[in-house]
Amino acid sequence: MPRPNQQLHAHREPVKTRPAATVLLMRDAPTDNGGTVLEVLMTRRSPTASFLPGAYVFPGGGIDAADASPESHAQTDHRPTQTAERVTEAVAGIRETFEELGILLARHADDGRFADAADIAAIDRHQPFVAQCAARGLRLAGDDMHLLAHWTADRTSPKRFSVPFLVRRMPEGQEPVADETEQFEPVWVRPANALAQHAEGKFFMIFPTIRTLEHLNQYATVQALMDAVSRDEEPLWNCCPRSGLLKGRETRFMDHEHSFGELALVTPDGQILHPLDWQSERAVPLLKNVQRLTAPNPGVMTGPGTNSYLVGDPSTGYIAIDPGPADPEHLEKLWRAAGGDIRQIVCTHSHPDHSPGARPLQERVEQYGKPKPPILGVASRPTAQAHSQFTPDRELADGEQVQLRGPSPDGEVTHTLQAIHTPGHAANHVCLMLREDGLLFSGDHILNGSTTVVSPPDGNMDDYLNSLAKLDAACVECNAEFIAPAHGYVIEKPREAIAKLTAHRLAREAKVLKAMQQLPGGDLDDWVKIAYDDVPERMWPVAQRSLQAHVDRIRSMEPGN
């Protein structure tokens, strides 16, 4: 974890969450061409409601103590795999659905008949719900409720709920009737239509509702959705959104989106303060001792540009990581962001968007009267291409620590970068671990939003995979929780990211092997069509470089090699 004294913003404790439950009632509706399409039931909240006035929502509400009582559980049918917590959520969802929309998700205990109009008319929405059901011989149909997702309200929200989103089919023979107090205008909507109306400003919804509808839009029928959610008792996703600023506007993100990890690092308490717009004009603070300046070299291979990092503070001076291309304006801005006090320059590898700026930056520092900072890294190997030649002033040994020290109000502050040799993307690649803050500078070995190219002969797939395992071990040792890549936003949960990347590479290798077996007399042009059929054809020339690395690895494992 980053040290608290290196966080940019003072800690602010989020409001505690309250448990709640939401129910998505689904049906298959006929289409004009004779088919069917999935629809979901939504309602509009009261325009005077204290929470989300006027929003279109799914029925639901807070979990009451009675929902968790032994009496309520005893009156609820449930699957053997449903925990007590899941049963409580089902009870709350069933109760709220009845109170708000008059839909009764219950069956007669004697013959299994689903509740009908007479049962609905006999139960008072304002009186204890489960007791009334029991009096009519009705059991709550909790066994039909399946968990789609779990949402937790933003950390900045003044009123926060922790909410499972439960799904089930709409019972036949019942019609929604809103309570006209909390909910109005029940409406069946197709997810795509609701999203289109929201985009036009005609159907106000909040972020979790929007993202849930986007997910529902993937399913053609209710059965397809139920098949997906009934595999186990775990949600398809858990999310507590994070918000940042794009073009000055508050924008929310889910866990899997590229900027989520950066927001977790910079504003862990959820404060909406961090700008996410990519620009090359000024350094972006990530911690008090870490700044990022993105070079103005965006492209297919560099994404928004190459990230140069400054580690340190005014009392310790700075280490510059990956000064980038020899772009005078970029180097000037990097030098100024460090107040001219750059003590060392480290290059993660020799590629032309990472290391050429090292010498000019070194000269600039010396030109303005500061001691000449040494350039550190690993020299390019004989396998490197002509445009990727790099010779440091001193080679960093594997495991070597480079440290900055300076005075602080608490005594002394240190910033320690540990070198980790990680050949694979390039033979001379090195990653750096900021030990005190558990932050891994991954160079091109791990990127945000894409996988790196492994291009033989300087790149080697076997080395690449072994280096991933080495980085995983380093993350365990240093309790690392974030990765700062050379391209893209900060990544959170490094071990998960490394595991996914390893699995992706091995899955790709399986496709490469399949292609080689299908076309034993083929070549890269033939195999790329099979192994990279999920990649746009325009990217196949680039993909062929990693394809060659996979082929080399596969052949190296053949008997006799």
Q: What is the dihedral of CA 498, 294, 357, 467, to 10 degrees?
A: 0
DSSP 159-171: SEEEEEEEEEEPP
> Model-level pTM?
0.92
Count CB neighbours of 346 within 10 A.
27
Amino acid (one-letter) located at 282? R
| Contact residues for 24 (Cβ-Cβ < 8 A; gap 6+) | 40, 41, 58, 148, 165, 166, 167, 168, 212, 216
Q: How far is CA 338 from the centre of its chain?
A: 31
Intra-chain end-to-end CA distance of the chain, in Å: 44
Q: What are phi and psi of 316, to 5 degrees?
A: -110, -15
Domain boundaries, the chain: 17-239, 287-495, 505-556
- According to DSSP, the residues that pair with 32 across neighbouring strands are none
* Topology at the third CATH level for domain 17-239: Nucleoside Triphosphate Pyrophosphohydrolase (3.90.79)
Interacting residues of 376 by C-beta distance below 8 A, sequence separation 6+: 344, 345, 346, 347, 392, 393, 394, 395, 396, 402
In whole angstroms, give the CA distance from residue 164 to residue 20: 7
Q: What is the pLDDT along the chain (561 residues), one digit of tens a residue?
A: 899 999 999 999 999 999 999 999 999 999 888 889 999 999 998 887 767 788 999 999 999 999 999 999 999 999 999 999 999 999 999 999 999 999 999 999 999 999 999 999 999 999 999 999 999 999 999 999 999 999 999 999 988 999 999 999 999 999 999 887 777 889 999 999 999 999 999 999 999 999 999 999 999 999 999 999 998 899 999 999 999 999 999 999 999 999 999 999 999 999 999 999 999 999 999 999 999 999 999 999 999 999 999 999 999 999 999 999 999 999 999 999 999 999 999 999 999 999 999 999 999 999 998 999 999 999 999 999 999 999 999 999 999 999 999 998 878 999 999 999 999 999 999 999 999 999 999 999 999 989 999 999 999 999 999 999 999 999 999 999 999 999 999 999 999 999 999 999 999 999 999 999 999 999 999 999 999 999 999 999 999 999 999 999 999 998 877
Q: Which residues contact 327 (CB under 8 A, 6 or more apart)?
A: 295, 296, 297, 357
The CATH superfamily of 287-495 is Ribonuclease Z/Hydroxyacylglutathione hydrolase-like (3.60.15.10)
